[in-house]
């Protein structure tokens, strides 16, 4: 769930999908940037939802959350929420303590990999275990080059702690996808430096039997059922992760 939109808009989108917000037991915060957490305080308070957030991110977010709803996590933690296991690992982004997540249940792994400046070993290892993945495809290189953003902002976007380009995301997909990957949700597209049709066509060309889904900026994505196949291990152990 993206809590960068208002509580009311989240409620509307879930209702259109015939989903009850009462089923949301926890929200995991990847980093403190306001475009991802703007609606968090009201949502958590209204529905008494637990918020998992690192101590540094909590401080820098300046969120006034009710203390009894706050839960801390750190890199390489695996946290169980009901039947789900959420594994957190560090990512390259210009935030104080940013993390990506691998969500697992019954042998199925879903990656949530957005707001990433570069492809690191942690990301590659987790990507190789995914049955489905939300993958950042933020910008097209040519559009960013020719666009009217100032130089410092262009440098921030592509400088290693900003965002993942279409080409870098595609290279990750082509080079490291497992045989059982069934869905890729193209995510976090820039409104100014990307075109949905451009990145979708780019991935479809290399998709083979993987379904390519565009995650819209303006509306909810449909609900998908992701199946499992034989996987040697559903989660990285903390000791393995730290060896990378």
CA distances from 75 to 2, 25, 99, 126, 175 (A): 21, 21, 7, 14, 25
238 has pLDDT over 60: no
Mean of pLDDT values over 134-142: 98
Give 237's pLDDT tier (boundaries 50, 70, 90).
Answer: very low
Task: Quote the pLDDT of residue 179.
Answer: 96
Domains detected in the chain: 1-72 (no CATH), 74-243 (3.60.15.10)
φ and ψ at residue 155, rounded to 5 degrees:
-65, -40
Predicted confidence at residue 2, as pLDDT, reads: 65
Angle between helices 196-204 and 166-176 (to 10 degrees): 20
Whether 242 shows a pLDDT value over 50: the answer reads no
Q: If pLDDT is split at 50, 70 and 90, which confidence band does 235 have? A: very low
| Residue 105: both structure tokens together | 């249940």
Confidence grade of residue 1 (pLDDT, cut at 50, 70, 90): low
Model confidence, pTM: 0.91
Q: What is the reported pLDDT for 129?
A: 98
Average pLDDT on 28-57 reads: 95
For the stretch 158-198, pLDDT in tens is: 999 999 999 999 999 999 999 999 999 999 999 999 999 99
């Amino acid at each position: 769930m993206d809590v960068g939109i208002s509580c009311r808009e989240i409620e509307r989108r879930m209702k259109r999908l015939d989903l009850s917000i009462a089923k949301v037991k926890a929200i995991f915060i990847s980093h403190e940037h306001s475009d991802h957490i703007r609606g968090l305080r009201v949502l958590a308070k209204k529905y008494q939802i637990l918020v998992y957030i690192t101590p540094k991110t909590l401080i820098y977010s300046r969120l006034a959350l009710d203390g009894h709803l706050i839960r801390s996590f750190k890199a390489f933690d695996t946290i169980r929420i009901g039947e789900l296991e959420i594994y957190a690992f560090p990512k390259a982004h210009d935030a104080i303590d940013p993390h990506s997540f691998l969500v697992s249940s019954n042998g199925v792994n879903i990656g949530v990999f957005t707001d990433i400046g570069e492809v690191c070993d942690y990301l590659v290892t987790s990507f190789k275990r995914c049955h489905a993945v939300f993958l950042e495809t933020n910008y097209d290189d040519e559009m960013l080059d020719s666009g009217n953003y100032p130089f410092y902002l262009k440098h921030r976007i592509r400088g290693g702690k900003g965002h993942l380009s279409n080409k870098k995301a595609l290279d990750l997909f082509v080079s490291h996808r497992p045989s059982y990957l069934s869905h890729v949700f193209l995510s976090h597209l820039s409104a100014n430096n990307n075109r949905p049709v451009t990145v979708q066509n780019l991935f479809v060309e290399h998709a083979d039997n993987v379904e390519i889904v565009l995650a819209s900026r303006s509306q909810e994505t449909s609900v998908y059922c992701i199946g499992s196949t034989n996987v040697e291990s559903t989660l990285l152990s903390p000791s393995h992760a730290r060896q990378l």
